Amino acid sequence: MRSCEFERAEIEMGISNPSTSVCSDYSTPEAIASRASVLEGKTFQDILDMGVYPPDGATRDYDNRQYKGGMGTLVEERFFGYKANSEHDADFPEAGVELKVSCFDKKKNGDYSAGERLVVSMIPYDEPIQSEFDDAVVARKCKRMMLVYYHRDKAIDPYQQQIRYAKLFEIPENDLKIIRDDYRKIASLVQEGKADRLSESLTVYLGACTKGPTAAKSWVDQYYAPGGPKANKRAFCLKRQYMDYVLHHYLMNESEDLDCIIKGDAPATQTFEDYVLSLIKPHFGKTDRELCEEFGLEYKGNKRQWSSLSYAMLGVRGEKAQEFEKANISVRTVRLETRGGIKENLSLDTFKFLDLVEEDWEGSSLFEYLEQTRFFFVVFRKEDGCARLEDALFWSMPTMDLDGPVHDCWQATKKVVEEGVCLDVTRQRDGSIRVKNNLPGAEDNAVAHVRPHATKSAYRFADGTELGDVERDAYPLPDGRMMTRQSFWLNNSYIYKVVKTDESDAVDS
């Protein structure tokens, strides 16, 4: 049996031809990593040109440009030389290593980001599920992984995309503690017959992502709730934001510049979220002025400062925490009015009209954001010219709200944009111009609405006349007009109900 180390040395010295030399020693993580290092700098076509096949031959027509399979399967069969399968064990069981091939993208600003979440294994829907992470299939497939990352470039032939990184990755113990808690949360809902209430945003690092070829085919009966509501097929995954962190700090070796909330070892008896709340709760009842004095900040009494105070209470400098970035947790401060209610709506990202009309619901940016994002609300109440800290909670949008009212708002918005937005222009008494539109407003939906995101209005009308700075503050409509940038917003009345409802009463929170 040839050793990977010996083969690697031969390749580097130019003695051995990698197209015919196949490593068969996959008994240790180090041997697998040595073999995989050959991949760095190679394209998928280079792999095919090596002429490697599984012992019983490859059945997939990889050389056919119509091949729709994953590049991970190509690497398994045509580089490592073993038959791709769906076994419950790791790809290299003797070494306890799972092979995962994924991609990263280059953004317009030149930065890189993980292209997708890392799907690990299916969540059982027709058989019992293990109660503990370490006993489950997902643990065997993600604790130690051989990560192969290629640069996804949609402008070139997929087979010419280049593999940039091939490294062994073991999930750090502090992250595993959080992942175990995530698993228990998912498994508990499944065992309670509530798999239909799962969403990727319910957990921190280990998510429950949708998995199915079509919406109709992906809904199945629940093993633990026979005759009950169907549930969407889902898989355990490491969230895209977690894999983005892995890309930058483990594969690209970038230095760590974010503070951790957990200093040292993770708390043994608390979940991550309980630990975060334990840091905030001692400050309940303090005003923002008192908190500024406590943490040495100049008092400004505005929303931006409340966000800074939220991180300060967590022991984090600045307004980013490593765990929140890895988990896609969005910190939002909410101020209740003295007599109840919330004045401000909660803004989401802007959307482009031309992108909206090309989307389907489950592929839309709105669905993906709310399906994957967990919110951490820090609640203040207006009081005598300042704001007093009243509460803090983690929250994810319930699936019934996402697939119900939010979907309706998105669909109504898409319909209006497709058919042509009605712009009603009127001149006010002071000479200013006001433009009304027929996009869904807060009065049309109990959860979400559309309104401008830009601070100033900007339009280009059908006759070519312009109002405001259209290049800075407007996006094009399908009919050629330009309209002020818009965002989806969550209604203030809806957010008020969220922050005034105890989380223990809301399974989806």
Measured between alpha carbons, how far is 367 from 378 in angstroms, rounded to an integer?
Answer: 24
Please name which of 244, 76, 248, 44 lies closest in space to residue 150, comparing C-alpha atoms.
44
Taking the C-alpha atoms of residue 475 and residue 295, their distance in angstroms, rounded to an integer, is 42
Encoded tokens for 354: 């031309």
Sign of the torsion angle spanned by Cα atoms 305, 310, 315, 320: negative
Reported as type and span, the H/E element at residue 119 is: strand 118-122
Cα–Cα distances in Å, from 316 out to 115, 193, 319, 324, 423? 28, 39, 7, 11, 46
Helix (H, G, I), strand (E, B) or coil at 444: helix
Q: Does residue 219 sit in helix, strand or coil?
A: strand
Q: Are 99 and 146 in contact (CB under 8 A)?
A: yes
- pLDDT tens for the chain, 509 residues long, are 334 443 443 444 343 444 444 556 799 999 999 999 999 999 999 999 998 888 876 567 776 666 555 789 899 999 999 888 777 889 999 999 999 999 999 998 999 999 999 999 999 988 999 999 999 999 999 999 999 999 999 999 999 999 999 999 999 999 999 999 999 999 999 999 999 999 999 999 999 998 865 556 788 999 999 999 999 999 999 999 999 999 999 999 999 889 999 998 888 889 999 999 999 999 999 999 999 999 999 999 888 899 999 999 999 998 999 999 999 999 999 999 998 899 999 999 899 999 999 999 999 999 999 999 999 999 999 998 899 999 999 999 999 999 999 999 999 999 999 999 999 999 888 878 899 999 999 999 999 999 998 789 999 999 999 999 999 999 999 999 999 999 999 999 999 999 997 543 444 44
